[in-house]
Amino acid sequence: MDYRQMTSPCGLDCCHCPMYRANEDTKLRAEISERLNVPVQAATCKGCRNARGTISCLGDSGPFDIFRCTSEKGIAYCYECADFPCDHLHPYADQASVRPHNTKVFNLCPIKKMGIDPWAAVKALKVRETHFNGKLQVHTADKKRQQGVSSPQNTS
């Protein structure tokens, strides 16, 4: 798979997106059709780059802002921009439980560090699964202390 082509400029992994997977999964396509109230044949996406930034099943009539911005600047990913991170990458609090958009900045950082192919092969799906199915973890230092593991604060 061409991971560069299947990763949007904002860092979303199109290859793991239900809208993309619905191209091959008719049951998933029917579920998406019902949820979005669109015809079954329209309940798919080719991926942001393949669709040139226009996701018609979501009502787009032209490229979305991030795609337009990166295209105008001649960059492949937002992290390549001097203004990264910008308001185009702002998370959506009202739809965080159903859309992976809050993972954009998180994804772009390891893409920059690891490269697109290693990130896509190793990390992308795990990030998506953790976002939708993981449990919030706070105070990991306290948890480690309870398990008898030293943290930097208490190693004196």
Predicted pLDDT at 81: 95
> Is pLDDT above 60 for 150?
no
Q: Of the ranges 36-45, 56-65, 128-137, which one carries the lowest mean pLDDT score?
A: 128-137
DSSP designation for 85: S
HSE-up (13 A, CA, CB side) for residue 41: 0
The most confident of 50-64, 75-89, 92-106, by mean pLDDT: 75-89
Taking residue 58's Cβ as centre, other Cβ atoms within 10 Å add up to: 12
> Is pLDDT above 90 for 77?
yes
Q: Measured between alpha carbons, how far is 78 from 83 in angstroms, rounded to an integer?
A: 8
pLDDT (tens digit per residue) in 44-58: 989 989 999 888 777
3-class state of residue 114 by DSSP: helix
3-class state of residue 130 by DSSP: helix
pTM for this prediction: 0.73
Predicted pLDDT at 76: 95
> Is pLDDT above 70 for 14?
yes
> Is pLDDT above 80 for 41?
yes
